[in-house]
Amino acid sequence: MQKKIFLVFFVFSLLLQAQENISGKNNNIVITPEILLGKTLPSNTDFPQTKMYKQYLVSISKDYTYTPREWAQRLKGLQTGLSLGLTDFGQLDSLGMAISLIPEIEFNAFKSKRFKILTGLGASYFTKKYDPVTNPNNRAVSTDITWAFRFLIKYKLYSTKNIDWKLGVGLSHHSNGHTKLDNRGYNILVGSLSGAVHNPLKKSSNLENKPPIPQYQKSKYNYLELRAGHGWNVLAEAFNTTKAVYTLSGEYGYVFSNFFKVGLGAHYRFYEHYYDYINNNESLVQDTREFEYLKQHPFKNATNLSVYINTEILLDHFGLDFSAGVNLFKEAYKIDWRINEGWVNTPREIPLGWVLGEFNSKYKLKKTINTRLGIKYYLISTHKKPTHNLYTGVHLNTNLGQADFTEITVGYTYSFGKQ
């Protein structure tokens, strides 16, 4: 199932690069070789000692500076692309190497042409993963394929005729989206040096043929959105098969200048793993145990109710969105925390003397705050401001940054109050 999800994401990335109808002949092709150095942070106790993190990456992107679409003009210095990277985490025997494919977006930051923000979300293939016998100290990933995320702030040092030389600093993350344990994930602090080569296959940029750029006025309209999602996750190492997470969500908000979307919403989720644990009378809900009371309402206690704020960047058929929310109800997460944050290799039948996770401040934050990051594909280009639109998407959902589940969604958007 995990590989199918990432196949969907890969198709999304190819579609993103295939938008020839919005790119036009005047967009610059940019090829960027990049070297990244940094430090792989320990993912668990007894994590292998690491040397310097090294990544070699090449990205191919399009520069939309001269695209006469509103979103391209609002996001100054906009580029979208696809990067291919080879990573050495600093310990080949235990951590191995990774090959990453990441769709990315880059645009000006801090109202300056010298500063850039680059971010991307894709997938990585690992040559080494966790194994309780042959590789017990690397609990970072337990699957061949994971999500891959990177975020950099870049500074343009200087430019030659066709090359922009940049320094960057940021972070990188790899996780399988909680589809198999053990999965502590990789977190890396990085610095980068890159050289963006513009129009490497052309003798000139053909800017003399650039189309006229319209003078767009600020605008705002309302939207209502309904979404349904089907996700997958695992509960613990003793329950290490994927089960479903079902989501229903409603959202209301505004679209500013037809490219930036901000909304307030609420979602309802049902976790199949939580329900089965309670309904099957597993260890921690048995009579006289701590969570015996959950059996009184197993369906209710396997659900999650949350309110959230969502932001989204609209790029014609695509939307890149991020949301952060507050859980109003997520009672069975207590079981999740007890099992996964105590002693490792917690068995299915938990002895009374087994040390479980403590309900500390870290628990309270992760139980309270949820986040969601992903990409959507709209049936009708958002540039046309359609009243009715449909979309599908793929997202990673987390508990304050710790992977909760991977999800595929479908949704409907109704727009009104257009200026």
Give pLDDT tens digits for 263-316.
999 999 999 999 999 999 999 999 999 999 999 999 999 999 999 999 999 988
Q: How many residues does the chain have?
A: 419
**Sign of the C-alpha dihedral, residues 274, 277, 281, 287?**
negative
Tokens of 264: 């307030």
- Cβ atoms of 58 and 83 within 8 Å: the answer is yes
Rounded to the nearest integer, the mean pLDDT of the chain is 89
Q: Which domains does the chain have, with CATH numbers?
A: 2-200 (2.40.160.20), 220-416 (2.40.160)
3-state secondary structure of 144: coil
**pLDDT at position 386, please?**
94
**Sign of the C-alpha dihedral, residues 249, 252, 255, 261?**
negative
Give pLDDT tens digits for 22-67.
444 545 889 999 999 999 999 888 899 999 999 999 999 988 888 8
**What is the mean pLDDT of the segment spanning 226-244?**
94
Give pLDDT tens digits for 324-334.
999 999 999 99
Residue 401: pLDDT band (50, 70, 90) is confident
pLDDT over threshold 80, residue 183? yes
pLDDT over threshold 50, residue 20? no
Q: Is 352 exposed, middle or buried (0-12, 13-18, 19+ CB in 10 A)?
A: exposed
**pLDDT at position 380, please?**
95
**pLDDT at position 16, please?**
56
Residue 15: pLDDT band (50, 70, 90) is low
- Cβ atoms of 318 and 378 within 8 Å: the answer is yes
**pLDDT at position 69, please?**
81
3-state secondary structure of 111: coil
**What is the mean pLDDT of the segment spanning 409-414?**
97
**pLDDT at position 351, please?**
94
**What is the mean pLDDT of the segment spanning 125-136?**
91
Lowest mean pLDDT among 2-11, 38-47, 193-202, 343-352: 2-11
Which pTM was predicted? 0.86
The rounded percent of the chain whose pLDDT value lies above 90 is 67
